[in-house]
Homo-oligomer: A and B are copies of this chain.
Amino acid sequence: MMSLMARKQGSHSDITGPKVQAAALRLIAQNGFAAVSMRQIAAEVGVQAGALYNYTPDKQSLLLALLQAHMDELLNGWNDWDVPDAPEAALRSFVNFHITHHYDRQDSLFISYMELRNLTPENFKILEVQRREYESQLEGILTRGRDAGVFGLQDVRLGAMAIIPMLNGVSQWFRDDGRLSIEQICDQYWAFVKGVVNG
């Protein structure tokens, strides 16, 4: 068994790998992809630059892995989320999910919008499909609510395009020691979203 095997000195793949991702995420969110060097990431992890290439074929792939992990977690998280059938309850559930899911993923959310432009076109397309898939989850709720006569929303697509940036905005200013708890924020934003769909 793994835990009984003697470990070779300097063999830390299982711990270094996640540390590389975490360091890259933090540094890229803070300074931007192009501004962060492999040496900086290595220094944060506590290895030399060359060692990073055991975990990524190149810098570009490292960014792609971060963005893909973010979208995968988002879609899987929503998939596992318990969503009521009734449109209004489902929308409330979406608001709660979106805010709480990104609560401790501020860096991920930030780079998932900011660093798309540093991807190759084909990688960009893959992520756009995933983002579109997430947006259409919200649009599905809005459509059902409108068809049921619960929401007064005219344009479902536009409503989704208004709601998502509004909710994303929370991650730009939220602090744990701030004036409002995450639950209070969810409550208030639910009121805002209700206003948007009932306009």
- Interface of A with B (CB < 8 Å)? 30-35, 114-115, 117-118, 154-155, 158-159, 161-166, 168-170, 172-173, 180, 185, 188-189, 191-192, 194-199
Contact = CB atoms under 8 A, between A and B. Distances in A.
B162 A172 contact: no
A64 to B, nearest CB: 16
A188 B163 CA distance: 13
Contacts of A115: 32
A51 to B, nearest CB: 24
Contact of A165 (B31, B172, B185): B172
A181 to B, nearest CB: 13
Contacts of A191: 154, 199
Contacts of A164: 169
Given A32-B34, A117-B30, A168-B165, A158 B199 contact: no
A163 B195 CA distance: 12
Contacts of A31: 34, 117-118
Contacts of A33: 32, 34-35
Contacts of A163: 166
A91 to B, nearest CB: 13
Contacts of A185: 158
